Amino acid sequence: MTVDVRDANAADGRACAEIYAPYVLDTAVSFELTAPAAAEMARRIEEAQHRHAWLVAQDERGVLLGYAYAHPYAARPAYRWTCEPSVYLTTEARGRGVGRLLYGVLLDRLTARGFRQAVAGITLPNPASVRLHESMGFEHVGVFRSVGWKHGRWHDVARMQRALLVAADPPEETV
């Protein structure tokens, strides 16, 4: 299987919404309770492209296999050099290296844009996501206990962190 990674655009909203919906509706991987429609995903894609990135992986037929993006880690200005990345894949793409490929391109893009740290949140248990993050150089930094209520129970969230850009301080205002 040949996989290409490219920048997402608003036209990818529908496919990204279809990939994401099972995570929202059937799992606690996402703490959203309602799956966003295609138009909302298109809006999110456009927003992410302004400062961070949103990438899609597609096969040789042009079928989307997954996507990866980043958004602000937190709203306060002091956090502006830290981002929170995520990756979502179709069932068929899992375990085939697509997540690692997407994340690699995403992390390179974020580094080029001046981000210093990436902090990921992973609803537990999720051994596949933990393995992916470990393989991409993320380190465990903690677990928030019982912070998300979904599907009738509390869920823990692990935090994993990876340094992106190591550069002199103060950071340049490119982010």
pLDDT digits 0-9 by tens, 153-174? 999 999 999 999 888 887 877 6
Residue 33 one-letter amino acid: L
pLDDT digits 0-9 by tens, 54-102? 999 999 999 999 999 999 999 999 999 999 999 999 999 999 999 999 9
Cβ pair 133, 85 in contact under 8 A? no
Characterize 85-108 residue by residue with b for buried, 16 or more Cβ atoms within 10 angstroms of its Cβ, and e for exposed: bbbbbbeebeeeebbebbbebbbe
- What's residue 174's pLDDT? 63
Q: Domains of the chain: which residue ranges?
A: 3-163
- What's residue 64's pLDDT? 97
- 39: Cα within 13 Å, side-chain hemisphere: 0
pLDDT digits 0-9 by tens, 32-62? 999 999 999 999 999 999 999 999 999 999 9
> In the CATH scheme, what architecture does the domain 3-163 have?
3-Layer(aba) Sandwich (3.40)
pTM as predicted:
0.94
